[in-house]
């Protein structure tokens, strides 16, 4: 190994953290916009400047559809610590993938049994009854999966640093 290989590897490993931090910021903004859209009855695009909402949506789609899948597959960018952190994140993500749909089903079933129709409930519950196309459902699930991966990765990284 030559002397130039070590700095390149260090930059490559650090760039994985940089891209993951950037992804965390973008996905956090995206989640805030989605939560604000759920909480506010009015159209969010009418309340915020149009270019801001479109920019957040486009950047989050680029991060969720290009950068994060690349980071999931880019083993060459991970050192031993990053690889161990990635493996732990994937293990937690597998557990979440199995339990989150059951939790959503349980919450909506309890709400239905206790209150009635979901379509008349609050906006945080009402989304379950919306009619969506297969394509938009796949995109929503994919972006949710990527947001969850980033959140788990960053949480485990934060916990390791303590």
How far is residue 148's CA from residue 97's CA, in Å, rounded to a whole number?
A: 9
Residues of the chain with pLDDT under 50: none
Q: How many CB atoms lie within 10 A of CB 27?
A: 23
> Which pLDDT score is estimated for 2?
58
The pLDDT, as a whole number, for residue 109 is 83
Give the pLDDT of residue 154: 96
Q: State the pLDDT at residue 4.
A: 60
């Amino acid at each position: 190994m030559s002397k130039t290989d070590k700095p390149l590897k260090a930059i490559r490993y650090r760039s994985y953290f940089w891209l993951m931090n950037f992804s965390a910021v973008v996905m956090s903004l995206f989640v805030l916009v989605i939560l604000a859209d759920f909480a506010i009855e009015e159209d969010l695009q009418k309340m915020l400047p149009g270019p801001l909402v479109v920019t957040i949506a486009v950047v989050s789609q680029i991060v969720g559809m290009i950068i994060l899948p690349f980071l999931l597959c880019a083993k060459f960018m991970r050192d031993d610590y990053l690889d161990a952190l990635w493996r732990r994140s994937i293990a937690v993500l597998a557990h979440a993938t199995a339990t989150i749909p059951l939790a959503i089903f349980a919450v909506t079933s309890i709400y239905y049994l206790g209150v009635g129709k979901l379509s008349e409930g609050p906006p945080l519950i009402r989304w379950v009854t919306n009619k969506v196309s297969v394509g938009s459902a796949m995109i929503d699930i994919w972006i949710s999966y990527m947001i969850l991966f980033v959140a788990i990765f960053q949480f485990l990284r934060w916990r390791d640093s303590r």
